[in-house]
Amino acid sequence: ERGHAAYAHNCLDCHGSNLDNGEFGGPPLKGLSFSRHWDAANVAALFGFMKAKMPPDRPGQLNDETYADLIAYILDENGYKPGDKELPPDVNAQQAMSLKK
């Protein structure tokens, strides 16, 4: 829920309400395009990319918990099975979390 709210506030304009239909041409964050790009990576790589590049007008300005919430939302929208705990904002813990389905 927090990830969805953070997405609506920070990402919706570029990536769209469906994560793949943004008004300002952000790349799709779900579906085949997303999985092709991130399938071989881990959560830490996605977290690092998002923190370094997003949002484009203020990269790195969100706190680590918000970036983790956004990733949890994006993964949920891509059909990843949720874990029994919240996605940690700790990069070391994220290293062991594969994005391969």
Report, as an integer, the average pLDDT of 75-79: 97
| pLDDT over threshold 90, residue 101 | no
In angstroms, rounded to a whole number, what is the distance separating the alpha carbons of residues 30 and 75?
Answer: 8
Residue pair 14/67 in contact (Cβ under 8 Å)? The answer is: no
| pLDDT over threshold 90, residue 91 | yes
| pLDDT over threshold 90, residue 29 | yes
More confident call, 54 vs 101: 54
Confidence of residue 24 (pLDDT cuts 50, 70, 90): very high
In angstroms, rounded to a whole number, what is the distance separating the alpha carbons of residues 78 and 71?
Answer: 10
> How many C-beta neighbours within 10 Å does residue 1 have?
8
41-64 pLDDT per residue, tens: 999 999 999 999 999 999 999 999
